[in-house]
Structures are given as structure tokens and as C-alpha cells.
């Protein structure tokens, strides 16, 4: 369970201004936020690491 | 990655030609054109040039093929579509423009409506970004361009976050490349393709290879 959570991140979609939650281990968008602001407790990624 | 032809409903099995940093203009063509439309088109052209975008429309290329086929291929290859809408246009022209806008959305392209102030957008297109052609057009268009830069950066990031599904990751990187054709995008897409090619289906390979040719 903890391992799965580690792979869940979020980033802001600039087209909508809303956050999307991504499961990196599967390469899947798992949720899209309807309201403003980020998901609680999910790391926010703004830029690519490399 | 499957793309269906709007001409015959079959799967596209040809290589796609890409047009990075190109805006496909959807509007009334030919002559005579309403004066307001000519003014908007000229103003838009000036702004696109400022941001190094090439402008094309359905009359830019002569292919000898079906007109819809040509439009569809242009939409497939370009990153951005801009519709110009004014009250003076005929219903037939407006219907064609909305069809093309729908196609852009379905194919994951960026789109923008530039309209005269008095023109009202139908409800299904309320989420499509629009700017009025008025005294603040220049600053509105600049804001849109800034947002396009953010989208490019978002697609590049998504290319990393979606790596577990290489076809999706490469497609995101391709979208970043079409907005600004940087060599690092092609290099990364090629790296992902090379390490995953055994698990990528043949249809996706065809699309990816036609993109990698631009490196």
C-alpha cells in the first residue's frame, strides 16, 4: 500500500488550471480535481526532473 | 494509438506529416470576405508572427485530394487551431468551423476562438478558450501564448510521469515538440521508443516513427 502511494503525484493542468493525480507506476491519470487547489497529502510536481 | 479517418472510417496507416509551431486557421476563405474578418485575420497574423508561429489554412496546400482529407491531415500535424468567427459569416461556414474545432479537441490539439465582440459562442464550446478581437486583443493573445508555453512544459513533464506507458509518454512529448520543436524532445522520445519497442504495438510504432523522423 505504502509503495503505491509513493508513486502517486499531482500536477496542475495549465489548460484547465485544475490538478490531476497520476499513478507513475502504471502511467495512468487516476483522478482530475473539479475544484481549485491541490489534493491534500499528494506531492506536487511542477517541472520535469531532467 | 489508433486514428480513424473521417473520410472512410478506416484506421490511418500512413505516416503523418508534422507541422511544428504552426497554427491552422479555421475561417471563411476565398473572396469576397467580410471586412471585419479581414481585419481580424490581419491582426491575428501579426500576433502569430511575433511568437514565431507559421499560419496555414485549408488553401495553403494543393494536394488534389479530398478537401476534408487535407484539413484532417493539417489538423493531425499541427499543434494549434485558431477559429475566427464573426456575425457576418454564413451558417454553412460556421458549421464547418465548429466541426474542425471538434476535430482539434478529439485529436488533443490546442485551440482558440478569436471572435468579434458581438458573436456568441454556443454552449458546447464554452470551455474552448476565446478572445474578443478588440483593443485588448494584443494582451489577450499574449496571455494565451504564455499559457501555451505552460502547456508545452506540462506535456514535457507528463512525458516523464507517464513513462510506465511509453506510448502515452511519447505522445505527450510529441505535443510538447509540436509547440516548440526542441531537439531534446525528439531525443527523449527516441530513448523511450528504443527501450520499449518490443512492447509497443505496430500501429503506435507507425505513428511514433513518423514523429521520430523529425529528429
Please tell me whether residue B176 adopts helix, strand or coil conformation: helix
Express each pLDDT in B168-212 by its tens digit. 999 999 999 999 999 999 999 999 999 999 999 999 999 999 999
Residues from B in contact with A at Cβ < 8 Å: 110, 147, 150-151, 153-154, 156-166, 168-169
The answer to whether the Cβ–Cβ distance between A22 and B162 falls below 8 Å is: yes
Q: What is the pLDDT of residue B155?
A: 98
Q: Name the residue facing B151 among A14, A26, A49 (closest C-beta).
A: A14
Domain boundaries defined on chain B: 22-146, 149-212
A48 contacts in chain B (CB < 8 Å):
153, 156-157, 159-160
Residue of B nearest to A47 (CA): B157
Q: What is the pLDDT of residue A3?
A: 47
Task: Label each residue of B18-86 as H, E or C.
Answer: CCCCEEEEECCCCCCCCHHHHHHHHHHHHHHHHCCCEEECCCCCCCCCCHHHHHHHHHHHCCEEEEEEC
Beta-bridge partner residues of B54 = B22
A45 contacts in chain B (CB < 8 Å):
157, 161
Q: How far is the alpha carbon of A4 from chain B, nearest alpha carbon, in Å?
A: 14
Q: What is the pLDDT of residue B2?
A: 86
Residue A23 pLDDT > 80: yes
Average pLDDT per 10 consecutive residues for chain B, totaling 215 residues: 89 92 95 91 97 93 79 94 94 94 95 94 87 96 97 98 98 98 97 97 94 88
The answer to whether the Cβ–Cβ distance between B162 and A47 falls below 8 Å is: no
Count of alpha carbons within 13 angstroms of residue B215, beta-carbon side: 16
CA distance B45 to B54: 9
Select from A11, A12, A14, A28 the residue whose CB has the most chain B CBs within 10 Å, as the one to mutate to test that interface: A14
Residue A5 pLDDT > 80: no
- Report helix, strand and coil shares of chain B as percent, to nearest 5: 55, 10, 35
**CATH node for B22-146:** 3.40.50.450
B154 contacts in chain A (CB < 8 Å):
11-14
The answer to whether the Cβ–Cβ distance between A14 and B163 falls below 8 Å is: no
CA angle B162, A15, B112 (to 5 degrees): 125
Residue A1 pLDDT > 50: no
Amino acid at each position: 500500500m505504502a509503495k503505491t502511494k509513493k508513486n502517486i503525484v499531482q500536477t496542475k493542468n495549465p489548460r484547465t488550471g485544475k490538478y490531476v493525480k497520476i499513478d507513475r507506476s502504471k502511467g495512468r491519470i487516476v483522478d482530475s480535481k473539479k475544484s481549485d487547489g491541490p489534493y491534500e497529502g499528494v506531492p506536487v510536481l511542477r517541472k520535469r526532473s531532467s | 494509438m489508433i486514428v480513424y479517418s473521417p473520410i472512410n472510417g478506416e484506421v490511418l496507416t500512413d505516416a503523418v506529416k508534422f507541422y511544428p509551431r504552426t497554427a491552422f486557421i479555421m475561417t471563411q476563405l476565398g473572396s469576397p470576405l467580410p471586412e471585419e474578418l479581414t481585419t481580424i485575420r490581419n491582426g491575428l497574423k501579426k500576433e502569430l508572427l511575433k511568437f514565431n508561429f507559421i499560419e496555414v489554412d485549408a488553401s495553403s496546400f494543393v494536394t488534389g485530394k479530398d478537401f476534408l482529407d487535407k484539413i484532417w491531415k493539417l489538423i493531425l500535424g499541427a499543434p494549434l487551431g485558431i477559429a475566427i468567427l464573426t456575425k457576418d459569416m454564413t451558417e454553412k461556414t460556421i458549421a464547418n468551423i465548429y466541426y474542425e474545432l471538434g476535430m482539434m479537441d478529439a485529436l488533443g490539439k490546442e485551440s482558440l476562438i478569436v471572435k468579434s465582440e458581438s458573436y456568441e459562442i454556443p454552449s458546447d464550446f464554452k470551455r474552448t478558450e476565446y478572445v474578443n478581437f478588440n483593443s485588448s486583443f494584443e494582451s489577450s493573445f499574449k496571455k494565451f501564448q504564455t499559457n501555451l508555453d505552460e502547456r508545452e512544459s506540462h506535456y514535457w513533464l507528463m512525458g516523464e510521469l507517464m513513462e510506465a506507458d511509453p506510448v502515452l509518454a511519447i505522445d505527450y512529448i510529441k505535443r510538447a515538440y509540436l509547440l516548440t520543436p526542441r531537439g531534446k524532445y525528439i531525443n527523449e522520445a527516441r530513448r523511450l521508443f528504443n527501450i520499449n519497442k518490443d512492447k509497443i504495438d505496430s500501429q503506435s510504432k507507425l505513428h511514433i516513427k513518423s514523429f521520430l523522423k523529425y529528429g
